[in-house]
Amino acid sequence: MEPDAQLVRLCVRGDGPSWEELVRRHTRRVYNLCYRFTGNAATAEDLSQEVFIRVYRTLASYQSTEGAFTTWLTCVTRNLLVDHYRRTRRERLTDSIDQMPQFQDRPSQVRLPDTLAQASELSAQVQQALGKLSPELREAVILRDLQGLDYQEIQVVLQVPEGTVKSRINRGRLELARILEEMGVRPV
Amino acid sequence: MDWNCTLTEERLSDVLDHTLSPRDSASFLAHASQCKRCARLVAQVGGIVSELRQLPWVEEPPFLSSKIIARTREIPRLAWSPAIWQTRFAMGIVTVAATFLIVFHAVGSGTPEKFQLSPASLYRDANRRIHLTYARGVRFVNDLRVVYEIESRLSSQPPAPGPRPHSDARPKPETAPPADRAFRRELASLETQNETPRSIP
Ligand SMILES: [Zn+2]
């Protein structure tokens, strides 16, 4: 498998198949970040498309010497999520609590085996709890515990000092645990 | 170090990520073995974090990648034009190309005759050609400078009034105003300067 940086180099030289490979390789990561942050499948789909269009336009500006492609991609995604959050803030404020968007996982038509069903249920509960966190804490927890970025990468993505990153992750985890406990969710 | 419940909350991520120093770690363990509240908190949050990390990724809608690829296909490839074509690099490229052009022109492409094959005569010949080409280049640049000078002076003059609606307007006399005369003198001096033959070594 070609490393990302090599694919990017080929893309910039105009190689279409390399671009397709890059998109297929990272769609799920981008979609998950958008979905976990917005809690809405349709919005996450639209945002994922916007992310890749922005990536396509700015691909030549990516420098492999400055970090991994996934970190750069996460930066682009996060910036777009922030833009989206600001854009939709007014709409959210006018929504009543009853009309709050439901944080739903993709409904499944088939009956899932028990472990998968449990994972799916937990996934939905986590999504609901994430939606109750402030955006700052939410993105920190998503990047660290769902996307698996390390502290240094998160620092690059969020453009805040290391101490702030640590503090946000810490508060985010505590808050999330408290919300899940209120929802009656306990870790196995 | 005396550990307390507040510290457990503040440094919970260090506890869970095992990034406490050995000394702090010992203090924490000593406190947690006595404090049920802290032990419970660490177990609860640690359990949640471990669940989060094991959660499978949500599957994206079908054909999302294909949709993205189709959408980006509509964007012209120009988006990927590398930095080399930016203005600051373009000037450098033009300069390098001009230098090569001068050198190739100076060296010439014809086969040298037998008596010219000695290193001294080859050097003399190349040297002469380079100076000749350089002199021509300088002359060309000077010509450009004159043209540019004329253009910029003309553009700095106040704009001429638009055509009058009546056709009885008389043509203006040929005599130029004093400022214009001074400009012409300067122009003539520039041109004669440009005409002076250059000594070619
Ligand atoms: Zn305690």
Residue B159: pLDDT band (50, 70, 90) is very low
Listed in order, the ranges of chain A carrying CATH 1.10.10.10 are 111-188
Length of chain A: 188
Examine the pLDDT at B195 and tell me if it is beyond 60: no
- When mean pLDDT is compared across A81-85, A182-186, B29-33, B168-172, the lowest value belongs to B168-172
Residue B201: pLDDT band (50, 70, 90) is very low
Helix-helix angle B119-156:B87-107, to 10 degrees: 140
CATH number of the domain located at residue range(s) A111-188 in this protein: 1.10.10.10
CA of B14 to the centre of ligand 1 (A): 16
Asked if B95 and B164 count as a contact pair (C-beta separation under 8 A), the reply is no
- Chain B CB within 8 Å of residue A19 CB: yes
Phi, psi values for residue B106, rounded to 5°: -70, -40
pLDDT of residue B160: 43
Phi, psi values for residue A149, rounded to 5°: -75, 150
Count CB atoms within 10 A of the CB of residue A174: 19
Count CB atoms within 10 A of the CB of residue A163: 9
Looking at the partner chain, which of A27, A52, A176 has a beta carbon nearest the beta carbon of B48? A176
- What residues contact A67, with CB distance under 8 A and at least 6 apart? A153, A156
- Chain B CB within 8 Å of residue A166 CB: yes
pLDDT of residue B137: 79
Could you report the average pLDDT of every consecutive run of 10 residues in chain A (188 residues)?
92 93 97 96 97 95 93 97 90 54 39 63 92 96 96 96 96 96 84
Helix-helix angle A114-130:B36-54, to 10 degrees: 110
What's the whole-number average pLDDT of chain B?
Answer: 73
Q: Helices in chain A by DSSP H: which ranges?
A: 4-12, 16-38, 41-58, 69-94, 114-130, 135-141, 151-158, 162-182
Asked if A31 and B60 count as a contact pair (C-beta separation under 8 A), the reply is yes
pLDDT of residue B200: 35
Q: Specify the amino acid at residue A145.
A: D
Examine the pLDDT at B177 and tell me if it is beyond 80: no
Residue B144: pLDDT band (50, 70, 90) is confident
Do the Cβ atoms of A123 and B58 come within 8 Å?
A: yes
A7-60: pLDDT as tens digits: 999 999 999 999 999 999 999 999 999 999 999 999 999 999 999 999 999 999
pLDDT of residue B75: 85
Tell how far CA A27 is from the center of its chain: 11
Task: Note which residues in 113-132 of chain A have CB less than 8 A from chain B.
Answer: 119, 122-123, 126
How far is residue B158's CA from residue A134's CA, in Å, rounded to a whole number?
63
Listed in order, the ranges of chain A carrying CATH 1.10.1740.10 are 1-94
Sign of the alpha-carbon dihedral angle for B160, B161, B164, B168: negative
Helix-helix angle A16-38:A114-130, to 10 degrees: 70
pLDDT of residue B56: 92
Among B59, B52, B45, B192, which residue's Cα sits nearest to residue A179?
Answer: B45
Looking at the partner chain, which of A23, A57, A188 has a beta carbon nearest the beta carbon of B65? A23
pLDDT of residue A188: 65
pLDDT of residue A32: 97
pLDDT of residue B78: 52
pLDDT of residue B156: 61
How far is residue B31's CA from residue B20's CA, in Å, rounded to a whole number?
14
CATH number of the domain located at residue range(s) A1-94 in this protein: 1.10.1740.10
- What residues contact A170, with CB distance under 8 A and at least 6 apart? B9, B10, B11, B12, B13
Q: Specify the amino acid at residue A185.
A: V
ipTM: 0.84
CB-side neighbour CA atoms (13 Å) of B28: 23
Tell me the three state secondary structure of residue A145. helix
Q: Among all residues of chain B, which has the CA nearest to that of A59?
A: B80
How far is residue B167's CA from residue B153's CA, in Å, rounded to a whole number?
29
Examine the pLDDT at B187 and tell me if it is beyond 80: no
Of these ranges, A106-110, B128-132, B172-176, the one predicted with the greatest mean pLDDT is: B128-132
More confident residue, A177 or B135: A177
B67-123: pLDDT as tens digits: 999 999 888 765 565 545 444 555 666 677 777 776 666 565 555 455 566 777 778
pLDDT of residue B94: 67
Q: What is the dihedral of CA A50, A55, A56, A60, to 10 degrees?
A: 160
Do the Cβ atoms of A177 and B45 come within 8 Å?
A: yes
Give how far A88 is from chain B: nearest CA, Å: 23
**pTM attached to this predicted model:** 0.64
Report how far apart, in Å, the C-alpha atoms of B42 and of each of A139, A170, B33 are. Answer: 22, 12, 12
